[in-house]
């Protein structure tokens, strides 16, 4: 019997690219078989199978539509998801009735058709179809439909992973990532966790003035133990909304990882945290590349010089090619205006990258140095510093949120403001 998946819309929109703020949660490890009638739909499904969000799904594509599906499952078990393309209304309904007689319990069915009729949609839902997508479809339409089958409306939202990486060593990517995470937690009131992936030399513990006995290394070297309870024990509380998964920052062992070393950690964090900020070290390996490509959004931090421009361009080109259904990475310029240093202007940088920087953060060693040495964020050192607004702009762009948390007023607020002013 075909299983039923609740729908929230009665009419399906035409195929289109997703808005910038759209967040599609990755699918779990499932088997998907598609039966297409046209080469265009088959190509779209094939492209969807290469999307990062379907990276764990096993996808198989066949031609022949409904008839091929019915014949295939007369003697074979059905997969987790069946994708069917069908044009004719009567043939579709009759075919679904026949498919139901050979379909295993728990299998979900997605239909791709060209009939834009709400009555047909209601009839499909009554027969247990999980989703109806209006053709012609793009790869992102297929990705969205399959992934949403495993994201129930009443379930807790899957967390958004934000990866921050420097275009070159020493450009301040860690400082930016920690302050942006602070803005996400404080100003956007989102529960967030910072995962310091630089296990040998990470600075998140220093920047947040935390020295936890355990951290991310315990999870990476014990993958069989990783679950929600285990990760919770490793988290260090920084504020009410911000937690830290700290790096050991010790050299008593080497940190050579396989490509999928962090997968279990990331999957577990997604299930428990609305926002995960990855502080990705400036190195190129299988796992750093996987972390960047698998993230929901990416921020590249660059200084305004030629090496940073080259590296930013290379990262942009690679990530755009590897993530064709995602928006391009964002980047910001940092340490702008170093005295006597020749710099590439932001306009020239943007022309080469073909994208404007989110913000350009000026070089201010005194306040940034004081914050680093005190284990504080810029907002804790100077509540009105201009960079705080820049961190908030980055946070809003990365999370897709524009609203900020309203501060609760109290009778002591005027007095506190006067004391801050002094």
Cα 49 from Cα 316, distance rounded (Å):
22
Looking at residue 100, its pLDDT comes to 87
State which H helix or E strand residue 83 sits in. strand 81-85
Contact 178, 243 (CB under 8 A): no
Contact 311, 198 (CB under 8 A): no
Looking at residue 415, its pLDDT comes to 52
User: Quick one: CA dihedral 228, 323, 56, 285, positive or negative?
Assistant: negative
Three-state DSSP class for residue 181? helix
Looking at residue 261, its pLDDT comes to 94
Tens-binned pLDDT, residue by residue, of the chain (422 aa):
344 333 333 344 444 444 445 778 888 888 999 999 999 999 999 999 999 999 888 999 999 999 999 989 888 888 899 999 988 777 888 889 888 888 877 889 999 999 888 888 888 888 889 999 999 999 999 999 999 888 755 445 568 999 999 999 999 999 999 999 999 999 998 899 999 999 999 999 999 999 998 999 999 999 999 998 999 999 999 999 999 999 999 999 999 999 999 999 999 998 888 899 999 999 999 999 999 999 999 999 999 999 999 999 999 999 999 999 999 999 999 999 999 999 999 999 999 999 999 999 999 999 999 999 999 999 999 999 999 999 999 999 999 876 555 444 444 555 545 554 44
Q: Residue length, the chain? A: 422
CA atoms within 13 A on the CB side of 31: 7
What's the longest Cα–Cα distance across the chain? Answer: 81
Contact 260, 290 (CB under 8 A): yes
Q: At a CB cut-off of 8 Å and minimum separation 6, what does 15 contact?
A: 133, 134, 135, 136, 137, 138, 141
Percentages of the chain per state (helix, strand, coil), in multiples of 5? 40, 15, 45
Under DSSP, the state recorded for 274 is S
Residue 160 has a CB neighbour count (10 Å cut-off) of 22
pTM, rounded to two decimals: 0.78
Cis peptide leading into 136, omega within 30 of 0? yes
Looking at residue 318, its pLDDT comes to 97
Report the first-to-last Cα separation within the chain, whole angstroms.
72
Residue with token string 């764990």: 56
Looking at residue 395, its pLDDT comes to 96
Looking at residue 356, its pLDDT comes to 96
Looking at residue 159, its pLDDT comes to 84
Q: Phi first, then psi: give them for residue 365, nearest 5 degrees.
A: -65, -30
């Amino acid at each position: 019997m075909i299983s039923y998946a609740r729908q929230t819309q009665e009419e399906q929109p035409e195929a289109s690219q997703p808005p910038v703020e759209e967040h599609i949660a990755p699918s779990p490890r499932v088997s998907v078989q598609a039966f297409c009638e046209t080469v265009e739909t088959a190509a779209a499904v094939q492209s969807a199978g290469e999307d990062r969000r379907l990276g764990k799904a096993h996808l198989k594509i066949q031609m022949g539509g409904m008839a091929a599906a019915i014949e295939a499952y007369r003697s074979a078990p059905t997969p987790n998801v069946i994708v069917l393309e069908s044009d004719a209304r009567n043939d579709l309904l009759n075919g679904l009735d026949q498919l139901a007689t050979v379909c295993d319990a728990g299998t979900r069915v997605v239909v791709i058709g060209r009939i834009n009729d709400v009555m047909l949609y209601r009839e499909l839902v009554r027969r247990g179809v999980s989703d109806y997508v209006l053709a012609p479809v793009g790869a992102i339409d297929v990705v969205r439909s399959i992934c949403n089958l495993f994201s129930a409306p009443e379930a807790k939202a899957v967390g958004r992973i934000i990866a921050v990486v420097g275009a070159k060593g020493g450009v301040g990517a860690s400082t930016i990532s920690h302050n942006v995470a602070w803005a996400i937690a404080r100003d956007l009131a989102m529960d967030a966790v910072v995962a310091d992936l630089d296990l040998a030399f990470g600075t998140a513990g220093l920047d947040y003035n935390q020295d936890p006995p355990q951290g991310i290394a315990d999870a990476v070297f014990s993958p069989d133990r990783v679950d929600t309870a285990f990760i919770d024990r490793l988290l260090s509380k920084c504020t009410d909304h911000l937690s830290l998964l700290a790096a050991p920052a010790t050299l008593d062992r080497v940190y050579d990882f396989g490509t999928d070393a962090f997968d279990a950690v990331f999957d577990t964090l997604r299930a428990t945290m609305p926002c995960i900020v990855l502080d990705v070290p400036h190195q190129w390996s299988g796992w750093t590349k996987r972390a960047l490509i698998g993230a929901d959004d990416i921020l590249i931090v660059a200084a305004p010089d030629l090496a940073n421009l080259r590296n930013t361009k290379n990262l942009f080109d690679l990530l755009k090619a590897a993530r064709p259904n995602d928006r391009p990475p964002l980047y910001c310029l940092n340490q702008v205006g170093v005295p006597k240093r020749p710099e590439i202007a932001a306009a020239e940088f943007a022309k080469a990258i073909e994208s404007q920087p989110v913000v350009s953060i000026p070089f201010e060693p005194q306040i940034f140095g004081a914050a680093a040495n005190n284990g504080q964020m810029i907002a804790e050192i100077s509540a009105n510093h201009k960079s705080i607004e820049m961190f908030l702009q980055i946070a809003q762009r990365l999370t897709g949120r524009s609203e900020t948390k309203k501060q609760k007023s109290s009778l002591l607020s005027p007095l506190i403001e006067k004391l801050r002013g002094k």
